Structure 1
Amino acid sequence: MPYQPDKIDLQILKILQQNGRITNLQLSSEIGLSPAPTLERVRKLENAGIIKNYHAVINEEELGLGIKTFIQVQLDFHTSNTIQRFADEVKEIEEVVECHHVTGGCDFILKVFVKDIKSYEKLIMEKISNISVVKTFQTMMILSTSKDEPVMPLDYNGAELS
């Protein structure tokens, strides 16, 4: 049976999503437990796979990645293992930061970051177009982003978060 986080676990998750660099002492103070049980709870959440990773959120524009797009990809299903072949090849493309297998009018949606239009053209011509199982694709340029929230909503199943 999967690990079921309780109210305290959900508080820990909420705090860690907002500040992954918080010390265990600060975290324990915020949730009202002593440091040892707090650390034990965090380790349980990590071991259960609920906490997958800790990382820095990067401002892509400050790094010169000015072009952000979504690419809808439709696959050619005339070959065997089409979905897996596509997924494996996309994993090797550094500019693709997200790849989602979806329902609807396309098979996959990719989120892509590149420096400029020339870089985007090179990505399309030399990488995406060269994936043998791609039938068609359509690009949607991201003009602006009004919400980009890395924090997962944790108020579910009636659990109250303070």
Structure 2
Amino acid sequence: MAKAIKIDNTDRKILRILQENAKITNAQLSKDIGLSPAPTLERVKKLENMGLIKSYHAMLDTHKVGLGVTTFVQVFISSHKKTCIDAFVDKILKIDNVIECHHITGSCDFLLKVIAADISSYQKLMLEEISEIEEISNMQSMVILSTFKDKKILPIP
């Protein structure tokens, strides 16, 4: 497990603000944190170089882009050998509609978050791609009916 990187309160402010609005200008960011633009930019670059800021993304409205069905899929694999796990992960990484893949503890081995245009597209994806992965022994799908919280902002300790 990676050790947490030590940061100060100004770095925490920068990270919180950038999580809320990654498109903020350096001038506005520097104003919001109380530093001049040059040191603010240096701090942001330092946070990027340290790996605390991994990337910047636009959060899209799934329904407006035509992706109306989101599911969680519990996956049970046939073997817990490293070769089996690696083979499964390699295949899952190639399926664009699988937007998250977590190796977990509990009753199943992996939890996938899968997105599709509609139920028939989802069914086709499951039948023709995901269920064809030979390392999978069983799956259980849970269709998301409503989402009440989908927070992408991490609470920085």
SS in 1 for 2:115: strand
Alpha-carbon offset, residue 3 of structure 1: 3.3
TM alignment of 1:38-77, pairs within 5 A: 38-77=40-79
Moved over 3 A (4+): none
Amino acid at match of 1:149: K
| Aligned partner of 1:151 among 147, 150, 153 | 153
Give the aligned partner of residue 160 of structure 1.
none
Distance 1:139 1:152 in 2: 27
| Aligned partner of 1:93 among 92, 95, 120 | 95
**CA deviation profile, 1:41-93 (whole Å, cap 9, x unmatched):** 10111011110000100000111111110000000007651111111110100
Give the aligned partner of residue 120 of structure 1.
122
Give the aligned partner of residue 112 of structure 2.
110
Distance 1:133 1:11 in 2: 44
Give the aligned partner of residue 5 of structure 2.
3
SS in 1 for 2:152: coil
Alpha-carbon offset, residue 132 of structure 1: 1.2
Check the 8 A contact 1:70/1:109 in 2, yes or no.
yes
Check the 8 A contact 1:79/1:133 in 2, yes or no.
no
Give the aligned partner of residue 142 of structure 1.
144
The answer to whether 1:23 aligns with 2:28 is: no
Alpha-carbon offset, residue 16 of structure 1: 0.3
SS in 2 for 1:15: helix
Alpha-carbon offset, residue 5 of structure 1: 1.4
Distance 1:92 1:137 in 2: 18
Structure 2 unaligned segments of length 5 or more: list them.
Answer: none
RMSD: 1.3
Alpha-carbon offset, residue 118 of structure 1: 1.1
Structure 1 unaligned segments of length 5 or more: list them.
Answer: 157-162
Check the 8 A contact 1:27/1:38 in 2, yes or no.
yes
TM-score (norm 1): 0.92
**How many residues are aligned here?**
155
